[in-house]
């Protein structure tokens, strides 16, 4: 087995572990059953399917499976980019338009999922009408849409538009958080760890932009070697960034280090039992944990 194949297998295993661990936590913990955590799981599943599907050899299969693989892979690649931008928009609404977000949380979540799926599907259909499918060597021979100047132009426009949206919203977020941080330093408002949130937003922008830049490099054939491995590493970085937030870490400690967790947070157990019996208080806890990915 070549080194690249071995590396790709290892990277895929890491993505599989992250995704199934999130599913396990969702099943075990009711505290994770809130829309921001569903967003994290949704993103992880996109990464999981996008990379696992490339391991399925379809060269000897009927054309239906080849075209299906190409269609789904193109759709998922675009869905990943639009979902990252949607995460930025949701965080902006939660931070800067809190009342709007909580009043329409369910609608915002399902609307972004639906719109992103429609965008990904439309681009997949367009690409497959413009070009036939072609096979790519990786861990297996998988099928993707063919390449021409029209596809390159559409990809470039798509990436530019969504990168621009992501950049503008991030700038607004940083301006807002910086203002809050300065007000807190002056003692005008309570400091809600704005410095930490500022750092998280900067990291989110860097990580999101990394995937867009990488996509540009692949489209223009600047990256030609270890393409699958580089893409997988980027996916893992994204997966870990969005997965490793406070609520998921806390729930992990609660499950696997229960005594330590109860010693560190002695009131949590009592509060959980109270909120299980009190719907109103449960709603409050849900709201408090809704932007756990920023913690």
Tokens linked to 190? 């309570």
CB-based contacts of 204: which residues, under 8 Å, 6+ apart? 87, 88, 91, 170, 241
The model's pLDDT over 235-258, given as tens digits with 9 standing for 90+, comes to: 999 999 988 888 888 888 888 877
The model's pLDDT over 180-189, given as tens digits with 9 standing for 90+, comes to: 888 888 888 8
Q: Is the pLDDT of residue 281 over 60?
A: no
Number of domains in the chain: 1
| Sign of the torsion angle spanned by Cα atoms 229, 210, 87, 35 | positive
Q: Which domain CATH number covers 89?
A: 1.20.1070.10
**Number of residues written out for the chain:** 295
**What percentage of the chain has pLDDT greater than the value 90?**
42
Which pLDDT value is given to residue 189? 80
- The pTM (predicted TM-score) of the whole model is 0.83
| Domain around 257 | 3-294
Give the whole-angstrom CA distance, residue 292 versus residue 94.
11
Which pLDDT value is given to residue 176? 92
In 3D, which of 163, 80, 93, 186 has the Cα closest to residue 123? 80
């Amino acid at each position: 087995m070549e080194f690249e194949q071995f590396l790709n297998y290892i990277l895929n295993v890491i993505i599989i572990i992250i995704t199934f661990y999130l599913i396990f936590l969702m099943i075990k913990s009711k505290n994770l059953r809130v829309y921001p955590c569903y967003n994290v799981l949704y993103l992880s599943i996109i990464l999981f399917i996008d990379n696992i599907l490339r391991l399925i050899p379809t060269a000897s299969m009927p054309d239906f499976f080849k075209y299906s693989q190409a269609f789904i892979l193109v759709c998922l690649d675009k869905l990943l980019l639009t979902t990252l931008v949607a995460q930025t928009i949701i965080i902006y609404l939660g931070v800067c338009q809190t009342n709007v977000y909580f009043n329409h949380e369910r609608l915002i979540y399902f609307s972004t999922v639906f719109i992103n799926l429609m965008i990904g599907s439309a681009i997949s259909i367009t690409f497959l009408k413009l070009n036939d499918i072609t096979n790519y060597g990786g861990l297996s021979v998988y099928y993707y849409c063919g390449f021409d100047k029209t596809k390159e132009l559409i990809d470039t426009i798509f990436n530019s538009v969504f990168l621009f949206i992501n950049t503008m919203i991030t700038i607004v977020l940083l301006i807002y958080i910086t203002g809050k941080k300065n007000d807190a330093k002056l003692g005008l408002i309570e400091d809600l760890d704005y410095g930490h949130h500022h750092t998280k937003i900067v990291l989110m922008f860097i990580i999101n932009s990394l995937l867009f830049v990488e996509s540009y490099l692949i489209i223009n054939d600047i990256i030609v070697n270890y393409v699958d491995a580089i893409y997988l590493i980027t996916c893992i970085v994204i997966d870990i960034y969005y997965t490793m937030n406070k609520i998921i870490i806390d729930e992990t400690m609660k499950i696997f280090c229960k005594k330590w967790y109860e010693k560190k947070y002695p009131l949590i157990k009592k509060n959980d039992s109270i909120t299980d019996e009190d719907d109103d208080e449960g709603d409050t806890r849900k709201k408090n944990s809704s932007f756990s990915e920023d913690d």
